[in-house]
Structure 1
Amino acid sequence: MLGPIVAARGLPLALIAPATFVATFTTSVAGAAVYTALALVSPGPVAMDW
């Protein structure tokens, strides 16, 4: 969410893009860890009910 703001302020995109990818990857790993932890302690399914 901050990428466009810092890009508009002049920070090169070559510096913004890797940080964005790392943040996205970290968020994905954290989400997978939470679902794994919930699956271990929950008696029922933990998947989302779309």
Structure 2
Amino acid sequence: MSQDLTNSSTQRQNILNNPYALQEIEKVAQIRGIAFEGRSVLLKEQATNAG
């Protein structure tokens, strides 16, 4: 069964932990992640306010 991202905090967190997904979010939404411990991270607020 497919999870709706609007109702599943676990599924949303999985996307925010996925480096490929973050690259795509940055590219499509034209936002930049924050460099942290050698990788790019997005705050939940950045991802939800993008676009």
Structure that is richer in strand per residue: 2
TM-score by structure 1 length?
0.28
Higher Cα radius of gyration: 1
Q: Which has the higher contact order (CA 8 A, sep 6+)?
A: 2
TM-score, length of structure 2 as denominator length: 0.27
